Amino acid sequence: MNNERTPDPTAAAPNERAQAHAAPGTAAQAADKVTQPDCAQIAGSIARQRPHREQHTLDAAERIRRRLRSSTLDAQVTARLKSPCSAKTKMQQKSLELHGVHDLCGVRVVVDTVKDCYAALAMVHDIYPHLPELFDDYIEQPKDNGYRSLHTVVVLPCSHTLEVQIRTHEQHRHAEAGEAAHWRYKLAAHRG
Ligand SMILES: [Zn+2]
């Protein structure tokens, strides 16, 4: 969508694009023809854009923070960038080119209640256009490991995408602690 309007510096090299789209065939065959760059190449691409990405992510976090604070929502808002190797894993798992990885840049919003999560989501969608097909409600439908959050992908004025994760403090603690701590907690509760 908006990504195509302006040249996207995240886009793969032209030859990779051609390989990915030239030959008709099954999705699997097409995926085989895509040359997957290694971590170092991805790190290079990301490093070149890093100043811009850092800035647009910080700007977005600040804009979201101001919007939430102008309401009665008490929210913690943090900005983050995906690591190059994490980006590579995602590209491989989903057969994506770098510009197809929509969560290279992210903002996390942590609020008090589930109701606040949806209120914050509405405000984020007020500020930026979002990509509905990439919206995930892991609060309504938690992941198998119990992970809960709202994930939405918004389009910034520079046409880059940014993933916004919205969760409660409790959901955040659970996500940060991970499975091991979750089971440790349950075991301790059982013993107690
Ligand atoms: Zn940007």
Distance (angstroms) between ligand 1 centre and the Cα of 185 equals: 41
Domains of the chain: 9-191 (3.30.460.10)
Q: Report the C-alpha gap between 52 and 26 in whole angstroms.
A: 37
Distance (angstroms) between ligand 1 centre and the Cα of 107 equals: 13
Distance (angstroms) between ligand 1 centre and the Cα of 50 equals: 10
- DSSP 3-state assignment of 82? coil
Distance (angstroms) between ligand 1 centre and the Cα of 60 equals: 10
| Residue that the structure tokens 């085989």 belong to | 32
Distance (angstroms) between ligand 1 centre and the Cα of 59 equals: 10
Distance (angstroms) between ligand 1 centre and the Cα of 184 equals: 41
Residue 182: predicted pLDDT: 52
DSSP 131-173: -GGG-EETTTS--TT----EEEEEE-TTS-EEEEEEEEHHHHH
pTM above 0.85, yes or no: no
> Which residues does 79 contact at the CB level (< 8 Å), separation at least 6?
57, 58, 60, 61, 105, 106, 107
Distance (angstroms) between ligand 1 centre and the Cα of 70 equals: 25
CA distance readout (Å), 107 to 145, 170, 182: 22, 18, 25
Q: Report the C-alpha gap between 85 and 10 in whole angstroms.
A: 15
| Residue that the structure tokens 């590209």 belong to | 91
Distance (angstroms) between ligand 1 centre and the Cα of 144 equals: 33
| Contact between 148 and 90 (Cβ < 8 Å) | no
The tens-digit pLDDT sequence of the chain (192 residues) is: 444 444 444 444 444 443 444 344 444 444 455 566 677 887 788 788 889 999 999 999 999 999 999 998 999 999 998 888 888 888 888 888 888 888 889 999 999 999 999 999 999 999 999 999 999 999 999 998 899 999 999 999 999 999 999 999 999 999 888 754 555 555 554 443
Distance (angstroms) between ligand 1 centre and the Cα of 191 equals: 51
Q: Which protein residues have their CB within 5 A of the ion that is ligand 1?
A: 56, 158, 160
Total length of the chain:
192
Burial of 45 (0-12, 13-18, 19+ CB in 10 A): buried
| β-strands 105-111, 136-137 pairing | unpaired
Distance (angstroms) between ligand 1 centre and the Cα of 9 equals: 9
Distance (angstroms) between ligand 1 centre and the Cα of 169 equals: 29
